[in-house]
């Protein structure tokens, strides 16, 4: 975020890691000419003798006690961001705020003065806002994490203040936001109590009428109370603003019309009309232009603005409209003090199009209902934003518990069937045995903890709601005996701690029961009511879909991961040329197609492979398996790295042709190398892959210049092989892009950080793997697979090699070489296989003398097997054939194949090598 902020302030793109609301705020601050080093924002002494200050005083006193001794602050501002009260948990925080210039009463946190802060953002966005660290525009606040919650007037619904809680950004926790929300609700309840007796009497009368009303017309009127605007007409901020203004019109109880600027340069019109139904109230209609700005404010008022109709709309000033309660509003003149816009189309123009619907219906003075409805709408909106941010079952259950505790209940537990946590569907055999997935707000309460198994009693509310599929409510837990039958001691202790009411809601999606959510309230809150059950059911229903999506993803992810792991090497083959360590870390989002391999070759050589298939999921894993098998098959032909990649490139192109016409794209990157322990040289080639890292003995890390080539599947591009020397004390690190690539940093920076991580001498390959994975950011789940292969070369000791060079093409030399080989085997104490070695070598050498050209070389290698090699300058490969009884020859290679464990031919730049391997006797 610090780098994103620096780039933005430098006039560059901030990058994808910045939240949209923060980026919009930065842009507004920059357009106002604000600088990160802001000056004073002092606006003069505020009026502290207000309803807000009186209502907030006891709540702020409680907050002051709660933050005492901590590095936290509480700030109360008015509806314009002007500081009214500031409390600090530590005296040093007061000095910090004074130095920063914004903590004392009279200073403003309005965005136009103080830049991007949680308070200013809450006033603009008209909702709870969070700003962390370098998301602040001003340098003075980048050490803080802040959350600001608006305080609404209970009757009009307008924002009258902000409660902001801040602490050091490293100490910011969700508990801070929970505390702020509960404080705001307490302030709003105290504001409601300050209203007149008449308003409270209207509230009581309305609620009594609502409970007693059974007439169909009343219920029909309730259904007509809210309208739904067309899609994509208003933004979320527009809707919140219009709802707030409509609440004010309802509270006024008068016939009126006002204009409200909305996004896109448009102006919406709100029409308030008194209506009479089962009870008297006010209906508010909204008229919104559909396209461009349709209302141009003029300097002189219009004398007769047009009458609003369903197809065209004329704009009215902010006036009271006299007249009857029913029927269209009469034409009225706007007063001179309020300029009226004109919307008269020119001759020949069609009237402008608009959208019109009923926004709200309510009774004047009923503030608590509006306040409750707004809280519930905010809770639903907040839950949709915060629940289901990941595809993790446990995390989603935790998000549900956190949101409910912050806004609805005092303690919440979420219990799921154990198969759900594994991605499966529960079965009838699971009964009522569940596993606790989340618990929140239960500090000091003896609830079972996370991961504990709970077997609910059949008479418990949880079991009853699961059996019926509907929520249950226990308004008085002391009277609910069935709740205490399962664990009387624990439940008695819970009751002693003040828990008094419970709502249980089944978690189910697509007809499958997943678990149960239990919502508790204690002495700090009023008991649950019947209306709360509907809200809890709606919240849990949304969360249930998120949990089910996470469950399905868990199952698919487990399937893809199982396929991926089954296609990766389980145990690396035994070989002496390299000390190998490896790691595979699957992606958090979806399994990718990364793979690695270590393949023994002839002559004690070893092939190293690391690759990455484009895409995620089962298809990528299956493609990876095909490519890994292909590389193993191609390696048996003893191809050079560039030749092998060429064949692999053709294979990927053919696979892409097979998938033509589908949405599946096939591509891959690959790094292939061959290490020869007799020369300590490694041949490397890569196709679209990142270069390997070479760690020298002193810890210096370099990236060998392996020529880059396009990824596999593009075709027509040549690959190039280079050779590097690998000393015995060095390490070669092969990896996939998941280890280094990050959206927030360039690849050069990532490779430099990898260099610093690997640059430590004296490590083993295993320790190097651990260090590389430990350097991955723990706060960010890996979005791609991470594959790591670290090897330390072991050269073949000269005493384990015997070589006879430049042998003439003379059959007489065969007996001489046989004798020399027998003496070498005696020196190695391998006389037991001397006879078979003598036969194999005689056949290979005789075959070279008869059919090959140039000087011949014979080499013996003692490794895990005894390797016999005969090298000549011919490129013609011998072929094994079945000789008939009348043939005089053709049985030599057949004899070699019977005596040797493996044999074959590999081509070199100067000819070929025929080789055969024999197992070395134990001991």
Residue 246 has, within 13 A of its CA and on its CB side, a CA count of 31
What pTM was estimated for this model as a whole?
A: 0.56
CA distance 694 to 755: 10
Q: Decide: 550 and 507 in contact? Cβ < 8 Å.
A: no
- Give residue 746's pLDDT: 81
CA distance 167 to 74: 9
- Phi and psi at residue 811, to the nearest 5°: -55, -25
CA distance 669 to 686: 8
Q: Which residues of the chain have pLDDT under 70?
A: 101, 155-157, 195-232, 236, 275-280, 290-353, 361-374, 481, 484-486, 589-590, 661-664, 743-744, 778-782, 879-891, 923
Q: Decide: 270 and 257 in contact? Cβ < 8 Å.
A: yes
- Phi and psi at residue 38, to the nearest 5°: -75, 150
Q: What is the SS3 string spanning 368-418? A: HHHHHHHHHHHHHHHHHHHCCCCCCHHHHHHHHHHHHHHHCCCEEEEEECH
Q: Decide: 233 and 289 in contact? Cβ < 8 Å.
A: no
Could you give the 3-state DSSP secondary structure of residue 266?
Answer: strand
Residue 40, judged by CB atoms within 10 A of its CB (0-12, 13-18, 19+), counts as exposed
Residue appearing with tokens 């519930």: 376
Residue appearing with tokens 């990718």: 592
- Give the pair of three-digit tokens for residue 155: 């009757």
Phi-psi region of 783 (alpha: psi -120 to 50; beta: other; left: phi over 0): alpha
- Give residue 315's pLDDT: 28
Among candidate residues 601, 673, 675, 670, the one with its CA nearest the CA of residue 641: 673
Query: How many residues would you count in the chain?
Result: 923
DSSP letter assigned to residue 738: G
- Give residue 280's pLDDT: 65
- Residue ranges with strand state E in 736-842: 786-793, 801-807
DSSP letter assigned to residue 590: S
A 10 A CB-CB count for 185 gives 17
Q: How many helices (H) and strands (E) does the chain have?
A: 23, 31
CA 613 to chain centre: 21
- Give residue 236's pLDDT: 65
- Give the pair of three-digit tokens for residue 745: 């940093």
- Give the pair of three-digit tokens for residue 481: 């005996």
- Residue ranges with strand state E in 556-667: 578-585, 592-600, 606-616
Q: Decide: 523 and 498 in contact? Cβ < 8 Å.
A: yes
pLDDT (tens digit per residue) in 29-70: 988 888 888 778 888 888 888 889 999 999 999 999 888 888
CA distance 122 to 650: 58
CA distance 331 to 322: 10
């Amino acid at each position: 975020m610090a780098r994103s902020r620096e780039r933005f302030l430098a006039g560059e793109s901030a990058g994808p890691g910045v939240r949209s609301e923060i980026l919009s705020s930065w842009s507004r601050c920059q357009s106002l000419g604000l600088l990160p080093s802001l000056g004073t924002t002092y606006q003069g002494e505020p009026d502290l003798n207000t309803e807000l200050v009186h209502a907030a005083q006891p709540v702020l006193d409680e907050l002051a006690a709660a933050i005492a001794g901590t590095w936290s602050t509480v700030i109360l501002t008015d509806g314009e961001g002007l500081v009214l009260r500031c409390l600090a948990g530590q005296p040093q925080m007061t000095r910090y705020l004074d130095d920063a210039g914004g903590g004392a009463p009279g200073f403003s946190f309005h965005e136009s003065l103080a830049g991007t802060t949680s308070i200013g953002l809450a006033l603009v966005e008209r909702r709870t806002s969070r700003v962390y660290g370098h998301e602040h525009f001003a340098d003075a606040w980048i050490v803080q994490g802040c959350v600001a919650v608006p305080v609404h007037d209970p009757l009009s619904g307008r924002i009258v203040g902000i409660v902001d809680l801040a602490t050091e950004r490293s100490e910011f926790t969700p508990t801070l936001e929970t505390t702020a929300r509960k404080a705001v609700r307490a302030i709003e309840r105290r504001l409601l109590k300050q209203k007149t007796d008449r308003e409270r009497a209207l509230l009581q009368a309305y609620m009594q009428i609502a409970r007693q009303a059974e007439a169909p017309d009343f219920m029909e009127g309730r259904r007509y109370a809210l309208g739904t605007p067309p899609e994509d007409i208003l933004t979320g901020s527009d809707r919140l603003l219009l709802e707030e203004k409509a609440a004010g019109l309802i509270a006024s109880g008068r016939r009126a019309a006002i204009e409200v600027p909305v996004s896109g340069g448009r102006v919406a019109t709100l029409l308030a009309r008194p209506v009479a139904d089962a009870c008297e109230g006010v209906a508010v209609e909204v008229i919104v232009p559909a396209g461009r700005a349709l209302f141009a404010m003029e300097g002189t008022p219009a004398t007769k603005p047009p009458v609003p109709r369903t197809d065209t709309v004329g704009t009215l000033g902010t006036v009271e409209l006299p007249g009857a309660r029913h029927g269209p509003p009469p034409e009225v003149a706007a007063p001179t003090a309020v300029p009226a816009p004109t919307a008269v189309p020119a001759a020949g123009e069609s009237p402008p199009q608009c959208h019109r619907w009923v926004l709200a219906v309510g009774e004047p003075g009923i503030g608590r209902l509006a306040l409750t409805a707004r809280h519930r709408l905010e809770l639903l909106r907040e839950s949709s934003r915060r629940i289901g941010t990941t595809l993790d079952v446990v995390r989603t259950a935790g998000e549900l518990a956190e949101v409910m505790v912050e806004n609805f209940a005092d303690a919440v537990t979420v219990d799921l069937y154990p198969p759900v946590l594994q991605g499966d569907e529960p079965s009838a055999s699971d009964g009522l045995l569940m596993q606790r997935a989340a618990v929140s707000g239960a500090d000091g309460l003896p609830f079972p903890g996370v991961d504990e198994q709970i077997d609910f009693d059949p008479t418990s509310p949880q079991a009853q709601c699961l059996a019926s599929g509907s929520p249950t409510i226990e308004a008085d837990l002391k009277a609910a005996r069935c709740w205490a039958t399962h664990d009387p001691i624990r439940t008695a202790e819970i009751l002693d701690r003040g828990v008094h009411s419970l709502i249980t809601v089944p978690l189910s999606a697509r007809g499958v029961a997943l678990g149960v959510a239990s919502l508790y309230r204690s002495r700090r809150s009023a008991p649950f009511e019947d209306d709360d059950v509907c809200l809890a059911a709606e919240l849990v229903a949304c969360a249930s879909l998120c949990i089910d999506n996470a469950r399905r993803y868990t199952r698919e992810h487990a399937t893809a991961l199982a396929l991926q792991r089954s296609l990766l090497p389980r145990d690396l083959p035994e070989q002496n040329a390299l000390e190998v360590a490896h790691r595979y870390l699957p992606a958090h989002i979806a399994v990718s197609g990364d793979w690695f391999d270590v393949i023994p070759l002839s002559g004690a050589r070893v092939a190293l492979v690391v690759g990455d298939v484009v895409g995620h999921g089962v298809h990528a894993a299956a493609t990876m398996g095909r490519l890994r098998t292909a590389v193993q098959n191609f390696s048996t032909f003893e191809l050079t790295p560039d030749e092998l990649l060429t064949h692999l490139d053709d294979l990927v192109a053919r696979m892409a042709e097979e998938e033509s016409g589908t949405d599946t794209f096939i591509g891959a990157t690959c790094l292939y190398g061959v290490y020869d322990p007799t020369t300590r040289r490694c041949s490397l080639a890569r196709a679209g892959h990142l270069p390997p890292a070479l760690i020298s003995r002193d810890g210096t890390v370099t990236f060998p210049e392996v020529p880059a080539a396009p990824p596999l599947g593009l075709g027509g591009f040549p690959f190039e092989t280079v050779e590097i020397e690998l000393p015995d004390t060095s390490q070669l690190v092969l990896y996939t892009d998941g280890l280094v690539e990050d959206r927030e940093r360039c690849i050069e920076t990532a490779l430099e950080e990898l260099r610093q991580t690997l640059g430590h001498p004296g490590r083993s390959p295993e320790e190097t793997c651990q260090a590389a994975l430990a350097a991955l950011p723990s706060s960010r789940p890996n979005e791609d697979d991470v594959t790591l292969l670290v090897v330390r070369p072991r050269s073949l000791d000269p005493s384990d090699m015997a070589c006879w060079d430049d042998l003439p093409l003379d059959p007489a030399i065969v007996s001489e070489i046989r004798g020399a080989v027998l003496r070498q085997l005696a020196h190695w104490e391998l006389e037991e296989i001397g006879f078979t070695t003598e036969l194999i070598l005689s056949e290979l050498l005789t075959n070279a003398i008869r059919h090959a050209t140039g000087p011949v070389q014979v080499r013996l290698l003692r490794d895990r097997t005894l390797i016999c090699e005969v090298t000549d300058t011919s490129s013609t490969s011998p072929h094994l054939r079945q000789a008939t009884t009348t043939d005089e020859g053709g049985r030599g290679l057949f004899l070699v194949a019977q005596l040797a464990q493996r044999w074959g031919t590999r081509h070199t730049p100067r000819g070929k090598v025929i080789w055969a391997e024999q197992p070395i006797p134990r001991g």
